[in-house]
Structure 1
Amino acid sequence: MKKTILLALVLLICFSCQTNRTIIPTIQGSLRQDFRLRKPIIISFRDSRKTTENSQQVIESLQNGLKAIYGNNITFKSYFDKTDDNSVAIKINIKEIGAKFGIRSIQYQTYTNQITAVSSSVSTYWGSAVSTAMVSQPLIQNNTTAQGYWIGTSYLDISLVDNLHSEKKIYEFPFVGEDMKNNTLGYKSASIAAQNSWDKVSSRFLDLIDSIAMKIIESE
């Protein structure tokens, strides 16, 4: 009976609310004023998420954030454009930025004592006697409960196209960040989990661009 109620609860939660939440990611950082590249780094975005209704907003937000940080040291092109010779391109394939709702079933046991009183009376010539016995018997009860939570995931599949050197190469950098939050605040918990996962990825993404820019400066 309890398992049936639990299943009904899970189905009610899943079908009565949206189980996916997305955010518009932002990139923030200090202006890189210490260098100016002769040839800007080419940056391209592609959104390959399953849900892409806010794709343009996501890409524009990321482009605006990068432009505010790197200025003329970067330029934007289409994802499938060919990379020019003597250039470096960073192609970012957006795989996931958001949070998904899940149900975790927890089974546990509780232990209680059942107290039973047993009484008996005896009548004799000398009077009546009453005896009472207290019997304690442990009871084990199996319980099942459901817990809702949000898993925030940000996943960027980054390809670095190196046409700067004579031996042209492509390097792959998968950046993934995750965070989990209980469904205490509903959709706000989902947004927090998604934002936390994105913060982990965006900081590493900026580190990668900084590292590439330093390598370019050293080779110029």
Structure 2
Amino acid sequence: MQAFIDTLFTPIGSDGLIGGLLILEGLKTTLLVTFAATLFGSILGVAATLMKMSGKWYLKWPADLYVGVIRGTPVVIQLVILYFIILASLDVDKVSAAIIAFSINSGAYISEIIRAGIQAVDKGQAEAARSLGLSAAQTMTTVIMPQAVRKILPALGNEFIVLLKETAVIGFIGGVDLMRAGEIIRSRTFEDVAPLLTCAAIYLVLTYTFTFLLTRFEKRLKQSD
């Protein structure tokens, strides 16, 4: 118990910053990157899905390449390449670079989730909508997508939770996320157990909290049916 107290209240730098505040700063970065990447990744995912399902090769080919490359390489490599090579000449802070990298990564996976959800909707729904005079765009936005969202919600929730845990690699570019905060405390206090278990406990609480909220939301959707 004393080790955990020392982790939270012992100054760990010349500026007098205590471990607890550093962990809170790291947690704020983790949540910011996770929520922002989920939002922008969803936009990229929808765009990539529409491009892949457009039937036009000049739209489908770039989307296939994007999804294939991103899903075929580790996120930590994507993050490092983006920050140290692609954005090296630009004045982009580490948090913004992390948001961009994780948005691009998440977008590829969300694209496949959305595509699977759309294909799971009975084709007769689209045919019926078109027979009633709806355009292809109207059919997609008012008939197909609302049904697809219900089907893919669990997978989207899982992607959010996976993304939350994947942000632990932000430290590779020097960003101070939750995991990096624990590493800094560990290196300065020479205490391994307390900071690492504290970070693990926070990740666990966040994961279970978001899983619980997602489950409640799914139940509400089923009741509305």
TM-score, structure 2 normalization:
0.28
Q: Which has the higher strand share?
A: 1
Q: Which has the higher helix share?
A: 2
Structure number with bigger Rg: 1
Bigger relative contact order (CA 8 A; separation at least 6): 2
